[in-house]
């Protein structure tokens, strides 16, 4: 979140996203060029996986960078970042429909607490009411809406990857990232004029592009062949770590509601995870 905001401030959100994903896409293409097996695996991927997972993947990438780039200040970056981190809870909820999992009654308080955490973040310490949260969102509706859309897109992608890929299929991050980069380059060239490049932004783009590839490749592999519930649960501390790093890097002192909301969101996500029980044993990943 912090690096995405920093690069967006210097280059513009679309140009920054295009640069970051170009680095990630270049690494993906390099890996493909060195592996006949990976190239053959991609050709064998079902068409519905290519389209059904490719669209939410691309949507997430574009929406997240735009949400961060359009934030009016660094405080909003933190808030939009936490809004995006509704995706673990959304992943659990969508798994009930897409992966036919079932949940016990803990899902109700878990979902409620996750939403309550976001509510606390968005009210920014003002009088807690629907009016206050609507006022806050209305100040920058596009950015907050994109943050929520990004969370929904990633939750959908994670579930559909599990549903349509299975452990015998080749993952598509090596193809999705280059395609995302090409789309963003075209859009950025048509809509933005990038600012002057300097050493700092080059280092930030290079680092963020590299870890982006590693992270997304690792996550997709986990969704396809790993312990779905355990991996999702392990991600629930991400909002906390992201908020800490972003606060330090962007020189923002988070308000109390931000920390409280972050903690409530994590608690709600953990309860949501604890509520889910697979319909079958781990062999059901061959769905």
- Residue 269 has a pLDDT of 73
pTM beyond 0.85: no
Give me the DSSP letters along 190-248.
HH-------HHHHHHHHHHHHHHHHHHHHHHHHHHHS-HHHHHHHGGGHHHHHHHHHHH
Q: Angle, nearest 10°, between helix axes 107-123 and 256-275?
A: 160
Asked if 275 contacts 110 with a C-beta cutoff of 8 angstroms, the reply is yes
Q: How far apart are CA 245 and CA 249, in angstroms?
A: 6
> Do 85 and 241 form a contact (C-beta atoms < 8 A)?
no
Q: What is the pLDDT of residue 165?
A: 67
| Average confidence (pLDDT) per 10 residues, the chain, 287 residues | 86 90 94 79 77 91 88 78 79 84 80 76 54 69 90 91 66 87 91 80 95 88 76 71 77 74 80 62 41
The position carrying tokens 């029980």 is 277
Angstrom CA distances, 54 to 161, 200, 225, stand at: 10, 32, 19
């Amino acid at each position: 979140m912090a690096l995405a905001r920093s690069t967006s401030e210097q280059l513009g959100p679309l140009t920054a996203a295009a640069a970051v994903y170009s680095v990630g896409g270049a690494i993906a293409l390099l890996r493909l060029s060195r592996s006949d097996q990976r190239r053959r695996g991609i050709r064998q991927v079902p068409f519905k996986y290519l389209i059904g997972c490719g669209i939410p993947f691309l949507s997430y990438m574009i929406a997240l960078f735009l949400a961060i780039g359009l934030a009016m200040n660094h405080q909003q970056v933190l808030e939009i970042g936490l809004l995006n981190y509704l995706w673990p809870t959304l992943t659990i909820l969508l798994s009930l429909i897409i992966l036919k999992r079932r949940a016990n009654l803990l899902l109700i308080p878990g979902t409620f607490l996750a939403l309550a955490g976001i509510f606390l973040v968005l009210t920014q310490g003002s009088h807690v009411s629907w009016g206050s949260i609507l006022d806050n969102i209305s100040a920058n509706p596009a950015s907050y809406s994109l943050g929520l859309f990004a969370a929904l897109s990633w939750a959908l992608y994670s579930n559909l990857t599990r549903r349509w890929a299975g452990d015998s299929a080749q993952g598509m991050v090596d193809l999705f990232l280059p395609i995302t980069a090409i789309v963003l380059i075209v859009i950025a060239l048509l809509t933005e004029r990038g600012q002057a490049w300097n050493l700092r932004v080059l280092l930030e783009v290079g680092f963020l592009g590299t870890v982006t590839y590693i992270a997304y490749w690792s996550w997709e592999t986990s969704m396809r062949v790993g312990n779905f519930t355990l991996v999702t649960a392990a991600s629930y501390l991400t909002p906390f770590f992201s908020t800490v790093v972003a606060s330090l890097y962007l020189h923002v002192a988070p308000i109390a509601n931000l920390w409280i909301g972050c903690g409530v969101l994590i608690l709600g996500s953990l309860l949501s995870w604890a509520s889910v029980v697979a319909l079958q044993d781990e062999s059901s990943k061959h769905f």
